[in-house]
Amino acid sequence: DQQVKQNSPSLSVQEGRISILNCDYTNSMFDYFLWYKKYPAEGPTFLISISSIKDKNEDGRFTVFLNKSAKHLSLHIVPSQPGDSAVYFCAASGSNYQLIWGAGTKLIIKP
């Protein structure tokens, strides 16, 4: 039972363009959402988060959008840079603070 789904296993984007990574969830009790980035042979690192009381959070080149009615969030990276090539995990939590993770999307930035 996947409560957090990242339906695109991989995404290829030209350097300088916008990267859009998507995430869907099924549990309406989730109230906090996070994106983590993972390079090979390293652990995931926190990137950006959003609370359910907001619909947008921005941090430099990274913006996360939350559509609660659609149970959908997305991560926008603009402009995309070669160093953004990594696996991006979406995660969600509710009142028990336990994170539920998606399977990740591998982002490849082409020069």
Find the shortest distance in angstroms from Cβ 73 to another protein: 15
Closest to another protein by CB, 10 vs 14, is 10
d(CA 30, CA 46) in angstroms, rounded, equals 18
Q: Which stretch binds another protein (CB under 8 A): 22-30, 62-70, 71-79, 90-98?
A: 90-98
Rounded to the nearest 5 degrees, what angle is found at the Cα of 32, between the Cα atoms of 28 and 36? 120
Contact set with another protein (CB under 8 A): 32, 34, 41-46, 49, 87, 89, 91, 93, 97-99, 101-104
